[in-house]
Amino acid sequence: MSGQRSAVGALVGSLRDSSPLVGGAAVEALAALGVAAVGDLLGAVCTGKLDIRERDLGCAALVRIGAPAIPALLRHLRHTSDQVRSVSYRALRGLEWQAESDEDRVSFLIQGGDWPGLRSVGAPATAAVISAPERETYYLSRAAMIKLLAEYGTQRERFACCGC
């Protein structure tokens, strides 16, 4: 187990190599390791040690890992770091993941800034939009949130959104 763990760490480190061939090989090797690589990949994103190109490679590896990565991606979709949420969102989108609960679907739609999708969820989306920290609703315009709440929210939720 510790040998596999050190291999994952070395492969995650290889995502930083300036050669696209090395980065691509690291993606394939991480994908071959499967779920054992998910924690370290997301951990590297969480620490902010990867730049955007490296995060893109990490996202590609997570997509290649496939369904076994989904539980960790869902947990990280609610992370405090926008980078982590973004990688989780992009990987879930790349996996063509379909939400099984309104809570997961709303978190996914908020991160993607998907106003029509949130509107289609309807009332269950209003509480999540209200309670989501501003950093999570960054991709939603204030106007879109107010429209959502005007259509589906209660009087109290409408005032909470506007800061009244």
Task: Quote the CA–CA distance of 62 and 156 in Å, as a whole number.
Answer: 40
Q: How far apart are CA 155 and CA 82, in angstroms?
A: 30
Between residues 7 and 66, which one has the greater pLDDT?
66
On whether the CB atoms of residues 70 and 95 are closer than 8 A, the answer is yes
SS3 at position 15: coil
Q: What are phi and psi of 28, to 5 degrees?
A: -65, -40
Q: Which pLDDT tens digit goes with each residue over 8-19?
A: 889 988 988 889
- The more confident residue out of 154 and 64 is 64
What pTM, to 2 d.p., does this model score? 0.78
The full DSSP string for 18-34 is: S-HHHHHHHHHHHHHHT
* Selected residue with higher pLDDT from 52 and 115: 52
88 band by pLDDT with thresholds 50, 70 and 90: very high
Burial label, 80 (beta-carbon count in 10 A; 0-12, 13-18, 19+): exposed
Specify whether the CB–CB gap between 106 and 115 falls below 8 A.
no
Could you tell me the pLDDT band of residue 71, with boundaries at 50, 70 and 90?
A: very high
